[in-house]
């Protein structure tokens, strides 16, 4: 039997993944059933993956096989318009599992650890889904929730996101044409390089003094100092 994600599934596996995502992992009887179906010895950690694929009906055969080749057993299921994956992990395997997924998937993939095994899958699924949806549409990226915490918080509150943009870079967005594009690119480069004008200049392929001038212009427009972390 194959589900819509191209994953070879059994009714028991489908029931288990759906039940864990819904929070039934806290029920002892269901948790025991889930561990048996997933092939878990105990309550080892699980990596929950949420894949928002580019293609309408993705196949996960390749993902599952490549993960298995790397020593990671995983299970996949199409759920509510996205693909859910659960992977058994030995200590230290999470980065390797993410690398494999990044190589063989197209689209946004969010991940989150369930430290409590099957009991924590519901929370891990929600966190992984938030990580995935916090990335821009069209992105081709794998990111863990701990790498996307500020973006995840904002993604869960569009109203606050809008307010934050208005209160911080709103004045920059009022600048017209090429100047706005240049100032925004400079702001991103400076922030990405920890405030270093020298490194930002290397990234932007311009003189350091040019970056310093643009930063002063940004600070004048926004009324905020880039030297202040907050």
- Does residue 212 surpass a pLDDT of 70? yes
Position 2 scores a pLDDT of 45
Residue 38 has a pLDDT of: 92
Residue 130 has pLDDT above 90, yes or no: yes
Q: What is the pTM of this model?
A: 0.73
Residue 143, strand partner residues? 110
pLDDT attached to residue 57: 59
Q: What is the pLDDT of residues 29-72, one digit of tens each?
A: 999 999 999 998 888 889 999 999 877 656 788 889 999 998 89
pLDDT of residue 110: 96
**pLDDT at residue 91 is higher than 90:** no
């Amino acid at each position: 039997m194959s589900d819509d994600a191209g994953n070879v599934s059994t009714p028991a596996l489908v029931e288990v993944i759906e039940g864990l995502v819904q929070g039934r992992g806290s029920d002892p009887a269901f948790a025991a059933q889930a561990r048996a179906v997933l092939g878990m010895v105990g309550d080892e950690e699980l990596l929950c993956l949420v894949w928002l694929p580019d293609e309408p009906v993705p196949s996960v055969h390749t993902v599952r096989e490549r993960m298995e080749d790397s020593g990671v057993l995983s299970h996949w299921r199409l759920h509510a318009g996205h693909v859910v994956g659960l992977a058994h992990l030995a200590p230290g395997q999470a980065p390797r599992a993410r690398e494999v997924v990044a190589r063989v998937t197209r689209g946004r993939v969010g991940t989150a650890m369930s430290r409590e095994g099957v009991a924590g899958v519901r929370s891990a699924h929600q966190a992984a889904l938030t990580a995935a949806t916090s990335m821009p549409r069209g992105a081709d990226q794998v990111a863990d929730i701990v790498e996307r915490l500020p973006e995840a918080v904002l993604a869960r509150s569009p109203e606050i996101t809008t307010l934050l943009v208005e209160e911080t870079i709103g004045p920059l967005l009022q600048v017209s044409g090429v100047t706005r594009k240049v100032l925004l690119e400079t702001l991103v480069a400076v922030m990405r390089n920890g405030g270093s004008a020298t490194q930002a200049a290397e990234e932007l392929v311009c003189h350091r003094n040019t970056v310093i001038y643009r930063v002063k212009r940004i600070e004048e427009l926004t009324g905020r100092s880039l030297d202040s972390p907050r």
